[in-house]
Amino acid sequence: MNNVNLKITNQAKHISGTPESGKKYSSQEKEKIANAAREFESLMTTMMIQSMTKSSGGLFGSEGFGGEYFDTMFESKIASFMSKSRTFGIADQVYRNVTGEELSQLRIESKHEGISAKPIRIENSSADRTKMSPSIGSLNRLDKFKNIIQSASQKYGLNENLVKSVILTESAANPRAVSTANAKGLMQLMDATARDLGVINSFDPVQNIHGGSKYLAQMINKFGGNLEKALAAYNAGPANVEKFNGIPPFKETKNYVNRVLSYLNYLEG
């Protein structure tokens, strides 16, 4: 096999000119595009490996018996593994340029396929609450994630302003936020919860907001649409809400529910 010379400078240069499409693709079409993008990245990675090992006569050297055969086989396997690990991000950029969306969002959507997107009925709260409003800085940061919030809200049948209110309360819209309990990201997911929700990287806003929204929808459904109980469960865990048959007598949880509902009232105007 002839080695292909590939000068590795700007890896995105060869695909930066791909035009974005305004077409709306189905889930099946998106998956096909994603697979093609991954195969393209694997091919590019194979070419890089060949270029880097040319001076040594390949991975197994030029004198080894069957070296060319094993070189080809292992180069393909290594390239495939590296592509799946998203080492270079070429597949991500190809997919983004074709669909206008993030490949990580497709991964989340695939994980949660079949989740109902019907609007969730929420019981209104009649309790008097201390009025609070979010800071201007947190609102400005929140605006950067409006498209992700809209997508997640529609997918899980949630009020967009409710998701925004939880984000503002949990992390003040800081995607790199980490709590003292090691909860991470915009909606402050614990590692174990994130894994259960299919979230691989809690610092990825798409994955985090989709995962957090899914969990919030689960809590609302679990407690029959009672928003106060659902929010308390998001903060203190559903077991505590069931134990006390309502908001647990924890100062932190009471303040949390109060803050989310206050922000919700603020955003609803």
Sign of torsion over alpha carbons 255, 215, 144, 264:
negative
DSSP alpha helix (H) spans, the chain: 27-53, 67-84, 90-99, 103-111, 136-143, 146-156, 160-171, 191-196, 205-222, 227-236, 238-244, 251-268
Catalytic-labelled residue, pool 170, 228, 242, 252: 170
Instruction: Give the SS3 label for residue 189.
Output: strand
As a whole number of angstroms, the distance between CA 77 and CA 83 comes to: 10
Torsion of CA 115, 199, 100, 89, to 10 degrees: -150
Other beta carbons within 10 Å of 214: 22
Angle between the N-to-C axes of helices 146-156 and 160-171, in degrees from 0 to 180, rounded to the nearest 10:
120
As a whole number of angstroms, the distance between CA 188 and CA 184 comes to: 4
Q: Is 102 a catalytic site residue?
A: no
Cβ-count burial 175-185 (b if 16+ within 10 Å, e if not): bebeeeeebbb
Active site amino acids: 170
